[in-house]
Structure 1
Amino acid sequence: MTSTNHKHYQTVKDNSVSKEVFELLHDEDLDMLITSPQPKGTELSKYYESDDYISHTDSKRSIFEKAYHFIKNIALKNKLSLVNSLQKKGKLLDIGAGTGDFLLTAKNDGWNVIGVEPSEKARSIAAKKGIELKPVADFDDHSFDIITMWHVLEHVPDLQNQIKELKRLLKPNGAIIIAVPNFKSYDAKYYGEFWAAYDTPRHLWHFSKTAIKKLFQNENIELVKILPMKFDSFYVSLLSEKYKTGKMNFIKAFFIGLKSNWKAKEKFEYSSHIYVLKNAKN
């Protein structure tokens, strides 16, 4: 990042894999948090090597994982509805496609789909579903009507280059859909260092509405719509309870999630947001 106006915000632990401690720095110009230090290359990949990293698996071993996949199926339908509201059927790219469930949903609805996913394990699961995923992006300029990144932008090591790449790949009248956690939500403030959506160091960046708007403006991409992800407050609160107390407090997590959504109405600060972005009109 080019900005150097960074101040200490919070110390957090990697609760799910390494138990190492990281610092969150507040970039006051962009109003976003930056994980410090940021692991690089193969060093970063070791933080994903866990059976508990369920976005890369279809595992349904525990009640928590079963609940995750139940909610995910509802979310898939909502995502497809959003995509269909923006464009007629065309070419769709999903970056960070995981095990390919969103692409499968879109493909079954008539979209021409392809995805990018660095995890070999996730790609092999997707292949069994008939979904082609590439390890890295290698596409022609202005190839896609819709580009999606569902809880992926926060994982990308080179943020500025990733946004430039989105600009390059998008058709002039296309749309980008970005979903990321919101560190300004009530559940983030309530759980503090235990907030599961910090997920350091896998999450390298932590966005606000202001940060998304400014980062994409730099590439002449306009923020046109923000939507809430209301399920996320419950899922994140449940995992945060586990990190804070050592056990799943379903009732407590439910009420914190409910309170977070209720408080979010005032300033539109939900646990996670979906951002719809398009090329700015000259």
Structure 2
Amino acid sequence: MITEKEFYKNLKPFLNCIDYTVSEESYEVMKNEVYDMLVTSPVPSNLDKYYLSENYISHTDSKKSLFDKVYQLVKNHTLKKKLKLINSFKTEEKTILDVGAGTGDFLKVCKTGGWKITGIEPSDKAREYAESKNIVLYENLNQVENNQFDVITLWHVLEHIPNLVEYIKQLKKLLKPNGVLIIAVPNHKSFDAKHYKEFWAAYDVPRHLWHFSKTAISKLFSLVDMNVEKILPMKFDSYYVSLLSENYKTKKSRPFNAFFIGLQSNLKAKRNGEYSSLIYIIKNR
């Protein structure tokens, strides 16, 4: 079995990116050509502090800024689509584990839809928000290791995981033999990524340790004998990411420019499948 150290071998320089959210520090994004995966370097030893920002809205319900409002609007729409997706699978008991559950909104929708819910969220603040909605979350996977689930979801979470290979092994153990693993991650092969380059908001260094492609996800999960059965687009992501990227690049909101780039990205992705973010449906072989 490959170790995580293999991902750091024979890396080639790709981009130099800035942490626009917290520190303004510079990080190298390096390319592993074997996996067609990008790697953030170096990884800070105190990575937790890079999540301590009101701007990091995946852990809050903020509606203060234009970005927050757009994010919350899109989130409410996509929650319904996510529920429809998991309802499309034949399951034994309708048990679901959401990893990186944030403030619990997805699990709240699942619970209303008749699912038996379990969630993991390392952020103390996010767990407090979730508890206010009557959603109790665990801090890490070890606290649910004696369970198995029909569906496991990671919505924009895998790119944050330091111990990537071991984590994927844990996910496999937690999944029932006929269960479904759903992974959503940004796609560095998308048009908006290529357009904005080092300003592309979905690089989000150093919080995003890995930057995946279709090849990378397929090869990673084949390591644990799992197979990508289907790939679905997240079409709204190109608009939201472009809105942030415009701000990083020009120091202005420029919503019309962002909309145009987001639209272009989706139109090009209709032909090549390289949407800004992708959802992978993964099952045991």
* TM-score grouping bracket, smaller chain normalisation: over 0.9
Q: 1:154 aligns with which of 159, 162, 165?
A: 159
Deviating runs (4+, > 4 A) in structure 1?
none
The offset of 1:142, in angstroms, is: 5.6
Query: Residue 176 of structure 2 aligns with which residue?
Result: 171
Aligned counterpart, 2:69: 66
Count residues with an aligned counterpart: 278
Equivalent-residue separation in structure 2 for 1:213 and 1:98 (angstroms): 26
Confirm or deny that 1:238 pairs with 2:263. Answer: no
Which residue identity lines up with residue 131 of structure 1 in the other structure? I
CA contact (8 A) 1:39 1:201 kept: yes
Counterpart position of 2:130: 126
**Cα-to-partner distance string for 1:91-131 (whole Å, 9 max, x where unaligned):** 10000000000000000000000100000000000001111
Q: Assess if the C-alpha contact under 8 Å between 1:141 and 1:168 holds in 2.
A: no
Question: Helix, strand or coil for the counterpart of 1:135?
Answer: coil
- Aligned mates of 2:133, 2:119 — CA distance in 1: 13
SS in 2 for 1:237: helix
Letter in 1 for 2:40: T
Q: TM-score, normalised by structure 2?
A: 0.96
Matched, 1:194 2:199: yes
Q: How much has 1:44 moved relative to structure 2?
A: 0.1
- For residues 56-86 of structure 1, the C-alpha deviation after alignment (integer angstroms, 9 at most, x for no partner) is 0011112221111011000000111110112
Aligned mates of 1:27, 1:165 — CA distance in 2: 24
Residue deviations 1:149-180, cap 9 Å, x none? 00000000110011000111000000000000
Question: SS in structure 2 opposite 1:133?
Answer: coil
> CA RMSD of the aligned region, Å?
1.0
Tell me, in whole angstroms, the C-alpha distance in 2 between the residues paired with 1:75 and 1:157: 27
CA–CA separation in structure 2 for the residues paired with 1:248 and 1:16: 15
1:79 to 2:50 alignment: no
Task: Name the stretch that deviates more: 85-94 or 254-263.
Answer: 85-94
| 8 A Cα contact 1:56 1:119, kept in partner | yes
